[in-house]
Amino acid sequence: MQDKKLTISADCALVVNKEISEKFGKEALIIGCPMLEDPRRMFEKIRLIVDESSAEEIEIFSMEVPCCQAIHMMVEKANEERKEKGKSEIKVTRKIVRVNGETEEYTGEVDESMLQAEIKAHRGG
């Protein structure tokens, strides 16, 4: 976890996006799911990694479902806490992976496509 760049990805994003799956085994790659894991424990792990890392950049890949946006919030909060301790803030690149595998910049907005993906993924719609 001391590489210049860390990648934090939703585990589903790793499966649907070839760019992320190609990083597996070659770079520092952390995967998780805020819906299937205890979100507090997941945040504590991310906080520890961000706090102890010498990385200069963190790249985040979340799926488009709204529940997955928690990964972005967790990294942001961990980075803020790192800065409060007097450590340098780590540059964060945020991406969202659509269900079709396409990647785009994460804006922080939940759009209609994301809501429909949530319904299909978690409610069987």
Residue 125 clears pLDDT 80, i.e. is over it:
no
Residue 124: per-residue pLDDT: 60
Q: Considering the entire predicted model, what is its pTM?
A: 0.85
**If you average pLDDT over every residue of the chain, what do you get?**
87
- Per-residue pLDDT tens for 63-78? 988 888 999 999 999 9
> pLDDT confidence of 48, banded at 50, 70, 90?
very high
91-97 and 5-10 strand pairing: unpaired
Question: 72, 59 in Cβ contact below 8 A?
Answer: no
Number of Cβ atoms within 10 Å of the Cβ of 76: 15
What is the chain's length?
Answer: 125
Confidence of residue 22 (pLDDT cuts 50, 70, 90): confident
pLDDT greater than 80 at residue 24: no
